[in-house]
Structure 1
Amino acid sequence: MINRQWLLASRPEGSIEDTNFSYKECEVPNRELKPNEILVKNLLFLCAPTMRNWMSPPGNSLYPSIPLGSPIMAPAIAVVIESASAEYAPGDRVSTRAGWQDYEILSTDLVPVGKIPDEMTSVDAMGKFGLNSLTGYFGMLEVGQPKENDVVVVSGAAGATGSVAAQIARIKGCRVIGIAGGDQKCRWLTEECQLDAAVNYKNATVEEELRQLCPDGINVYYDNVGGDILQAAIENMAVKGRIVLCGQISSYNDDKPSEGPRNMMRLIYGSITMQGFLTRNYTDNFPSAISNLKTWYEQGKVLFKEDVREGFENLPLFYRALFDGSNDGVLLVQINSD
């Protein structure tokens, strides 16, 4: 059998280009499995903005840098083909981190692996109840800690993570304002997700818009973007406000580190906290989080948008959609059937 692969051919400098990837075909791994290893067939990949950091040279993030000539690393849904682990049997579907390839041997001691319930589809496991939704959930509730009547602002609010974070704040009784790019996205936030207001950063001065919408300041700001929008929120934070640092997509394609706040004294005198987090810090709480998300979804309290595409050959093309804004929800690519 042929094992298709997309490899990291060169490290991106600025925007991702076709030349950063190379396609290869090789044989399926055929060695004897070591204890706690599994051979999996990858079914579906999540296209996540943070993968851009993994393509950078070592030292840019606490995740390992993808070595040149190795498959692109991504969150994945896979099915177990062979197993030397007591926890996983052939036929089990798992959520894991894998390379852009059809088949792979994974060590369950080194890579996070979790079983997917039989009643849950692969798309739902990586979409509605997957990594992006869990990131929005834990970032808002564990780090932001919204209280009833708080004023909450979320950037990247029409995205897969931001929309969940914003809707959870609304469920908790907060006044919620989303920041997004485009009138259509803003209408979706206010009309469908029932946010109180939305700011289109493409045709508004965000700092001034937030000043008008939040005259008493922002209690919780959930940041997916960084850069000037983060600074606009800082200038409008309330005393003892909380800033949740989730992502910095505005600078992922830059060749230099993300810039920090330009007015640190505002943070000091305002007793404002800024905290980053990783979703994997809350792994033990995944089951309860998924249960809550499912309940809210069934009650019609939270909406999800999934942009599901097909075709292994188009993985690099689809991934770039994250950075030109052409995706419509959590971006998933199906490459194989069960």
Structure 2
Amino acid sequence: MARKNLTFHLAERPKGNIVPGKTFNLVETDAPTASDLKDGQILVENIYLSLDPAMRTWLYDIRSYVPPVAIGEKMRGGSIARVLATKSAKAKEGEYVYAGSGWTEVAVVGDAEFEPIVLPKGTQITDAIGAAGMTGMTAYFGLTDIGKPKAGETVVVSGAAGATGSVVGQIAKINGARVIGLAGSDDKCKVLTEELGFDVALNYKSPTFAEDFVKATPDYIDVYWDNVGGDILEKALARAATKSRFVMCGSISRYNGLEKESPGIRNLFVVVTQRVRMEGFIVTDFRDRYPEAKKQLGQWIAEGKLKSKETIVKGGIKVADVAISNLFEGGNTGKLLVEVKPIDQGNENSRSLL
């Protein structure tokens, strides 16, 4: 009997929040098999599916850094996947790879759509999709090439308890900076200071946040990492030091309303008076330097200098459209993953740098 395969396809472009059972159609078909492979392709089964805030922006029919997901198209997404069969020189059967296989259980992917997982001892396989993967590389390149924090400088990170923000703050600490994290709950603030080494963590939902923020930045902000946008970005600009660097990574506060006209930032004149450098970027801008970042991030994790935080949602691929809401409701700490299929964390077949 043929193996069945569940896949999410975009059904409609959502206005506001993603609506489970409406935004996407969950379609069951026969799974592809080894006989479907062409040269340079592999057959994989997804193990962990990455859920990321940027996915919400891919559902809009707007000008962006990638074309929107088409109506009826399989939802895009990265995953950690196991190779079931191969006609590629890049992977062997049984190995685990990082693949752009989308929101599905079984897929055929070509050489350009996957990479072998290369991790040093002292890491875990999910690091390949989190702190040592695209998430970690986003933090690495944004800081090393744009933020450039120096020892003793003040670095503020919005969305600091999320996948990228939690890594940004730790890398800034490795560089000797004083790091302030902004998060949406007292529990998340405790994680930042007690587990991840942030110097200060502030709950932006606190009624005293504006006052607390001023007190925490007496010497103003040298580097601001923006994951959120909106009012928090405005408050950060008001505390910008002369010649500060604002790293514009995301604007999650707006992702569920990009089809509407958004209010502008009211104090942009600060950019002129304080000579603030504001620069946006996408991690794929640095594609040719991925090996450099992966090696350094993996080394920091293995040495205990960088800790990975994860929220793993169990229940298989069918829960993906529900789980993604966690990103916009504050339900995750660190990297958000869906466990498509359980594996033994102690016996992953990935390649080692050591």
Q: Same fold (TM over 0.5)?
A: yes
Secondary structure, in 3 states, of the residue corresponding to 1:98? coil
Letter in 1 for 2:213: L
Q: Deviations over 1:247-273 (max 9, x none)?
A: 111111113366553222211221111
Match of 1:61 in 2: 64
Distance of 1:208 and 1:318 partners within structure 2: 34
8 Å Cα contact 2:38/2:87 also seen in 1:
yes
Larger displacement relative to structure 2 (227-236 or 188-197): 188-197
Distance of 1:64 and 1:55 partners within structure 2: 9
Letter in 2 for 1:300: G
Map 1:191-270 onto structure 2 (within 5 A).
191-204=194-207, 206-254=209-257, 255-256=259-260, 260-270=264-274
Secondary structure, in 3 states, of the residue corresponding to 2:243? strand
8 Å Cα contact 2:100/2:109 also seen in 1:
no
Q: Deviations over 1:64-86 (max 9, x none)?
A: 21111122111111233343433
Secondary structure, in 3 states, of the residue corresponding to 2:323? helix
Distance of 1:286 and 1:232 partners within structure 2: 33
How far off is 1:313 after superposition?
A: 1.9
Distance of 1:192 and 1:275 partners within structure 2: 30
How far off is 1:230 after superposition?
A: 0.7
8 Å Cα contact 1:7/1:22 also seen in 2:
yes
Label 1:117 to 1:215 Cα distance change in 2 as closer, same or farther (>3 A): closer
Secondary structure, in 3 states, of the residue corresponding to 2:152? coil
- 1:29 pairs with one of 32, 35, 47: 32
Map 1:10-25 onto structure 2 (within 5 A).
10-18=12-20, 19-25=22-28
- 2:276 pairs with one of 272, 275, 292: 272
Q: Deviations over 1:79-121 (max 9, x none)?
A: 3334343333433322122221122222334x3x211138765
Length, aligned pairs only: 335
Secondary structure, in 3 states, of the residue corresponding to 2:18? coil
Identity across matched positions, percent: 39
Larger displacement relative to structure 2 (311-320 or 150-159): 311-320
Match of 1:318 in 2: 323
- 2:6 pairs with one of 4, 21, 29: 4
Distance of 2:95 and 2:192 partners within structure 1: 37
8 Å Cα contact 1:226/1:258 also seen in 2:
no
Label 1:61 to 1:205 Cα distance change in 2 as closer, same or farther (>3 A): farther
Q: Deviations over 1:156-176 (max 9, x none)?
A: 111121011011111211111
Distance of 1:298 and 1:122 partners within structure 2: 12
Letter in 2 for 1:83: T
Match of 2:338 in 1: 333
Label 1:243 to 1:56 Cα distance change in 2 as closer, same or farther (>3 A): same
Larger displacement relative to structure 2 (3-12 or 261-270): 261-270
Is the counterpart of residue 39 in structure 1 residue 39 in structure 2? no
Q: Deviations over 1:194-216 (max 9, x none)?
A: 22211111014544433222222
Letter in 2 for 1:285: R
Map 1:78-227 onto structure 2 (within 5 A).
78-109=81-112, 111=113, 113-117=114-118, 121-204=124-207, 206-227=209-230
Higher RCO (C-alpha 8 Å, min separation 6): 2
Secondary structure, in 3 states, of the residue corresponding to 2:65? coil
8 Å Cα contact 1:207/1:236 also seen in 2:
no
How far off is 1:243 after superposition?
A: 0.4
8 Å Cα contact 2:99/2:109 also seen in 1:
no
Secondary structure, in 3 states, of the residue corresponding to 1:140? helix
Larger displacement relative to structure 2 (248-257 or 237-246): 248-257
- 2:299 pairs with one of 292, 295, 302: 295
Q: Deviations over 1:2-48 (max 9, x none)?
A: 11111211111101111112111112235654443333222220111
8 Å Cα contact 2:193/2:200 also seen in 1:
yes
Instruction: Give unpaired runs (5+ residues) of structure 2.
Output: 344-354
Instruction: Give unpaired runs (5+ residues) of structure 1.
Output: none
Larger displacement relative to structure 2 (10-19 or 274-283): 274-283
Distance of 1:121 and 1:189 partners within structure 2: 21
Letter in 2 for 1:40: V
How far off is 1:193 after superposition?
A: 2.1
Distance of 1:286 and 1:258 partners within structure 2: 34
Q: Deviations over 1:273-328 (max 9, x none)?
A: 11111112223333332333333334333222111222222111111111111223
